[in-house]
Amino acid sequence: MQNLLETPIEFLKGVGPARGDLLRKELDIHKYGDLLHLFPNRYIDRTRYYRINELQNSGAEVQVVGKVINIKTVGEKKTRLVATFTDGTGEMELVWFQGQKWIRENLKLNTPYVIFGKASSFNGVFNMAHPEMEPLAEHEQSLRSAMQPFYPSTEKLAQKGITNKVVSNIMQQLFRETQAKFSDPLPPALIEELKLIPKNAALFNIHFPKSQEILARAQFRLKFEELFFIQLQLITKNLIRKHKIKGHPFTQVGAYFNDFYNNHLPFGLTNAQKRVIKEIRNDMGQPAQMNRLLQGDVGSGKTIVAMMSMLLALDNGFQACLMAPTEILANQHFIGLNELAKPLGINIKILTGSTKTSERKIIHEQLESGELHIIIGTHALLEDKVQFKNLGLAVIDEQHRFGVEQRSKLWRKNDIPPHVLVMTATPIPRTLAMSLYGDLDISVIDELPPGRKPIQTVHRFDSNRLKVWKFLKDEIAKGRQIYIVYPLIQESEKMDYKDLMDGYESISRDFPLPQYSVSIVHGKMKPAEKDSEMARFAAGKTNIMVATTVIEVGVNVPNASVMVIESAERFGLSQLHQLRGRVGRGAEQSYCILMTGHKLGNDTKTRLETMTRTNDGFEIAEVDLKLRGPGDIMGTQQSGVLNLQIADLVKDRDILMLAREHALKLLKDDASMTKPEHAALRHAFIEMGKKKNIWNYIS
């Protein structure tokens, strides 16, 4: 059977070369198997006949049985045909704007018809425009499935006459040719335990369901299977890495770590930090490579955790590196870590695109000789010239901004790959973490250091600007500093630039010299200009920083207590949350003010309401996932990440949890899937591994 599913699509009766070519280009359908997995994206339920007195104004498509008792033309210039339709419980109107002559000639009065369409109510009377109509006698003889599937389509397919009906017909042909016999990869015991319907029945009923109930069971079965295989792949990857990829066991907790912990910690660690450090220490003590994802909200103290992990590498005679996506962020890390490392006599340097050649030469030499303990840097660390004496730990910040290829360059610099700690301040919803990073072990810092006051967030309309400005002046009078951020959206850079410059000019008028001083930072400035403006603001020489989102990551000015976000409706939730995290870094009460116009869509209202209600990054990430879907959240490089055919990570979270639980259980019992009852599973698993699918994108 599998071989039949490999047949090129044009050989299916009713397809042929021209249609085959279109299906390939438009829907990526190359062979029988691809068509089989083209699942409907909605269904119309024709199992039920409604009475007119039961109709609701819900916009749903319904079918009613009754008779036309009267028909007339209404209107002068633009005429429409209106028929009165009754079923004994009430009356409704059927309306046609086109094809009136044909309808008039063919419609029989007082003959039972089944009508189907969208019923809507107007002045208390239901009407249906351009209904599908079929004499009851014919309807009762037709063989169509009670629920009609609607398949994904494109404009081009519609233009070329490949309608939903055509797709339904070729799907029926596919089931005739294959006789609906498909091998079932899931073990019989699992099917029995979860009361899953067989694979054949699931595939048949996803395309030709007879009722809502059987459709739901078919969907559950296919969603479970898809998510189950993804989890098998991820968990297997994790197990293989732990057994096969050797790592340096860091058995020493020595002078660097202990001296720092006992004498130089700038503040007490939170329980969450202690727990995470313990998890990392445990991993790095094993003779297998650590691969851990460290999630923590803005300001939760990930840097200290990274520092202490690096000290463990140093205690065991190894070097460590930290790679960040931007120079600003790399500098930020360097300043912070250098401050912490000073009393320990550690040699720590930074390498970025703007490091001078003479300085580079020294860094390269010291890295190779082992004199240099810790190197912080950007993509510059990946250059072939950069060679370590013995790299033991690589910390990667905001790793979704690095491609898989780039990261693997770091591993190749050593015979035995370094331990890897991936950090992100973008909290990842649990469902996504389990799907995208299911092969990584995950640590979460879920509490903020003591003494931090939650940032107060408010939403204000542009019409309240005078009040907002007065508030800013009061804050500046207390010695605080302010960020005012404008959106930057690549496509409309000119317009954004104009907004920013207009904003800067009006702020400079409202906050005039010499009493106030305003900095500006945007993408068109040279790096040196940007750095000098940032430095002036950080040193407290300017009161207000007007900027685009370049300040989203890694600017740390504890004295800045207010973040004003202009046109907040143009930002996504995670971006708003990241921007808000630039304030609230000192002991003072901080504020975030979201400015918008009055016209707001529903999604925007949800985003603003979420921001004003909570500071919890994980909760915000869950809402963001619901609003945007998984593809967007992972950013453009990873948009191909989860081309799921039927499951949906947001709506099918419970099925995902169930799939992971059963995948873990099965692999615990039979890690290599070699038991006789797992033969079909193993075969399907190996076949999937050959395809360029989700696994290639996973960390």
Out of 2.160.20.10, 2.160.10.10, 3.50.50.60, 2.40.50.140, which CATH number does the structure's domain 47-143 have?
2.40.50.140
Pick 111 or 165 by higher pLDDT. Answer: 111
Query: What counts of helices (H) and strands (E) characterise the chain?
Result: 26, 22
**Sequence-ordered list of residues with C-beta below 8 angstroms from that of 653, at least 6 positions apart, any chain:** 431
The candidate with the shortest Cα–Cα distance to 295, out of 407, 517, 445, is 445
Helix (H, G, I), strand (E, B) or coil at 34: helix
Per-residue pLDDT at 631? 53
Rounded distance, CA 676 to CA 682, Å? 10
Per-residue pLDDT at 642? 57
pLDDT band at 697 (very low <50, low <70, confident <90, very high): very low
Count the neighbouring beta carbons within 10 Å of the beta carbon of residue 349: 18
pTM for the model stands at 0.68
- The two beta strands, 481-485 and 544-547, are parallel
Pick 535 or 475 by higher pLDDT. Answer: 475
Residue 349 has pLDDT above 60, yes or no: yes
Residue 641 has pLDDT above 90, yes or no: no
pLDDT band at 411 (very low <50, low <70, confident <90, very high): confident
**How much is the average pLDDT of 381-400?**
89
Per-residue pLDDT at 414? 78
Per-residue pLDDT at 426? 75
- The two beta strands, 61-74 and 113-122, are antiparallel
pLDDT band at 210 (very low <50, low <70, confident <90, very high): confident
Out of 3.40.50.12280, 3.40.50.300, 1.10.3720.10, 1.10.579.10, which CATH number does the structure's domain 456-614 have?
3.40.50.300
Per-residue pLDDT at 644? 80
Residue 637 has pLDDT above 70, yes or no: no
In the block, tokens 């039961």 appear at 54
255-284+300-424 and 456-614 share one CATH topology? yes
**Sequence-ordered list of residues with C-beta below 8 angstroms from that of 686, at least 6 positions apart, any chain:** none
Contact between residue 237 and residue 667 where contact means Cβ atoms under 8 Å apart: no
The candidate with the shortest Cα–Cα distance to 552, out of 596, 488, 501, is 488
Q: Is the CATH code 3.40.50.300 the one for domain 255-284+300-424? A: yes
Rounded distance, CA 446 to CA 272, Å? 6
**Sequence-ordered list of residues with C-beta below 8 angstroms from that of 634, at least 6 positions apart, any chain:** 400, 432, 436, 641
Average pLDDT value over all residues in the chain: 87
**Sequence-ordered list of residues with C-beta below 8 angstroms from that of 143, at least 6 positions apart, any chain:** none
Rounded distance, CA 663 to CA 657, Å? 10
- DSSP H/E element including 496: helix 493-510
Contact between residue 367 and residue 415 where contact means Cβ atoms under 8 Å apart: no
**How much is the average pLDDT of 80-106?**
93
**How much is the average pLDDT of 272-298?**
92
Pick 555 or 544 by higher pLDDT. Answer: 544
Per-residue pLDDT at 92? 96
Radius of gyration of the chain (CA): 32
Q: CA-CA-CA-CA torsion for 533, 535, 540, 546, nearest 10 degrees? A: 30
Per-residue pLDDT at 652? 84
pLDDT band at 325 (very low <50, low <70, confident <90, very high): confident
Per-residue pLDDT reduced to its tens digit, 222-231: 999 999 998 9
**Sequence-ordered list of residues with C-beta below 8 angstroms from that of 613, at least 6 positions apart, any chain:** none
The answer to which of 78-82, 520-524, 557-561 has the lowest mean pLDDT is: 520-524
pLDDT band at 192 (very low <50, low <70, confident <90, very high): very high
- DSSP H/E element including 212: helix 212-244
**How much is the average pLDDT of 646-669?**
89
- The residues pairing with 219 across neighbouring beta strands, listed in sequence order, are none
- DSSP H/E element including 488: none
Residue 571 amino acid letter:
F
Residue 517 has pLDDT above 80, yes or no: yes
Rounded distance, CA 682 to CA 673, Å? 6
Domain ranges of the chain: 47-143, 255-284+300-424, 456-614
Rounded distance, CA 504 to CA 330, Å? 28
